[in-house]
Amino acid sequence: MTKRLVLIDIDNTLVNIDLGFDGCSADQIKIALRKAMSSGLTIGLHSDRPAFDLFAIHKNLGLNGPIIAEKGNILHFPPKWDMEPNQDHRFLMFQFLKTELLNILLTEFSDIDVFVGKNQKMFRFLAQNRPAENRKIVLINNYRKLSLAFNVCEQDPESENLCMNLVEQTAKIIRNLFTAIFEQEPTIEIYPATRACIIHLRDSHKRNSLPKLFRQYGAGHKIIMIGDSAFDFLGKDITHCAVENASAEYKALCNFIAQKDRTCGVIECLKWIQRGGHHGKR
């Protein structure tokens, strides 16, 4: 019997924008996952998020598979969760990039405050502890190892354009620093809705994790991806499942399309996989 490794995307697939389960309870998704794993599936998480975020979800759901974070650049395999040593040189380069960015923001911008840590926790803290003076705030995520992310926020809701200007200005600074440090152009993704920016190595893509996955689990494993966007497409030799809210582009590439959104759609995909649907197209 072919062994099956199922990788589930996080944002807009397993959870909604607030990191909550969508349309069903935590117990329902946990029961569905336990049934799937008891049938022989190995189930892991695959995301652009830092591994720190994925660890909490992985532990909460009791999964038995790997964590693949930061667009395939960080891999952790249970029960040992150490980052692969051959990635350390790039980790140190990203640490240097972060240090240089902090130096520039703190010395050349007198009208902003800079916070470093876990962005979600900082947002909650700042919502309750706003400074009296209206100042723009740059939040730098300190949990990424092989990428860099930041958000910009401000007290005055009418200052959104100023915040986006700061996002673009900071991204330009990072681009120049990155090019000097890595001797290559980065991939820069800007998200206006959250005034966020994520910087990746140019060659970063989720499918880059496949060679390491096959080395770890063996070529006999069938890899199945559950996702919502074309960024989740790992290649034609991988079986793909889409939740209903997935993009039309991703759905066109998939072997199975759930009739429900996000968490409930993931449960539907798991049932299809257990029925052996991965052997053929829907």
Query: Domains in the chain, ordered, with CATH?
Result: 3-72+205-279 (3.40.50.1000), 87-200 (no CATH)
Return the pLDDT at 123.
Answer: 65
pLDDT at 129 over 80: no
Return the pLDDT at 106.
Answer: 94
Q: At what angle do helices 160-182 and 88-108 cross, to 10 degrees?
A: 130
pLDDT at 252 over 90: yes
Contact criterion met (CB below 8 Å) for 189 and 198? yes
Q: Which two tokens stand for residue 103?
A: 């130096």
Which string of b and e fits 134-155 if b means at least 16 CB within 10 Å?
A: eebbbbbbbbbbbbbbbbbbbe
Return the pLDDT at 121.
Answer: 66
- In this predicted model, what pLDDT tens digit does every residue of 49-63 receive, in sequence order? 999 899 999 999 999
pLDDT at 120 over 80: no
SS3 200: strand
- In this predicted model, what pLDDT tens digit does every residue of 83-106 receive, in sequence order? 554 456 899 999 999 999 999 999
Return the pLDDT at 10.
Answer: 96
- In this predicted model, what pLDDT tens digit does every residue of 139-180 receive, in sequence order? 999 999 999 999 998 765 556 677 899 999 999 999 999 999
Return the pLDDT at 66.
Answer: 95
- In this predicted model, what pLDDT tens digit does every residue of 208-247 receive, in sequence order? 899 888 888 887 789 999 999 998 888 888 999 999 999 9
> What's the pTM value of the predicted model, to 2 decimals?
0.89
Return the pLDDT at 37.
Answer: 97
Find where tokens 């100023």 sit. Answer: 162
Contact criterion met (CB below 8 Å) for 168 and 150? no
Burial class (CB within 10 angstroms; exposed 0-12, middle 13-18, buried 19+) of 282: exposed
Return the pLDDT at 282.
Answer: 46
- How confident is the model over 32-60, as a mean pLDDT? 95
Q: Which two tokens stand for residue 191?
A: 């998200």
pLDDT at 4 over 90: yes
Q: Which two tokens stand for residue 153?
A: 């926020």
Contact criterion met (CB below 8 Å) for 179 and 190? no
pLDDT at 281 over 70: no
- How confident is the model over 29-52, as a mean pLDDT? 95
Return the pLDDT at 181.
Answer: 97
14/57 Cα distance (integer angstroms): 10
- How confident is the model over 2-15, as a mean pLDDT? 94
Return the pLDDT at 96.
Answer: 96
Which residue, among 11, 8, 22, 53, has the nearest Cα to 189 in the 3D structure? 11
For residue 79, cis peptide bond before it (omega within 30 degrees of 0):
yes
Q: Which two tokens stand for residue 116?
A: 């470093």
SS3 4: strand
